[in-house]
Amino acid sequence: MNIVEVLENQKFDFIKMDIEGAESVVLPACKNYLSDVTYLFVEYHSVINQKQSLSMILNIMSEAGFRVHVHSVMYSNSPFVRRKENSGFDLQLNIFGWKE
Fold of 12-98: Rossmann fold (3.40.50)
49-70 residue pLDDT tens: 889 999 999 999 999 999 999 9
Query: pTM higher than 0.75, yes or no?
Result: yes
Mean pLDDT of 78-90: 70
Residue 25: predicted pLDDT? 87
Which CB contacts under 8 angstroms, 24+ apart, belong to 76-85?
85/48
Work out the mean pLDDT of the chain and round it to a whole number: 86
Q: Where are the domains of the chain?
A: 12-98
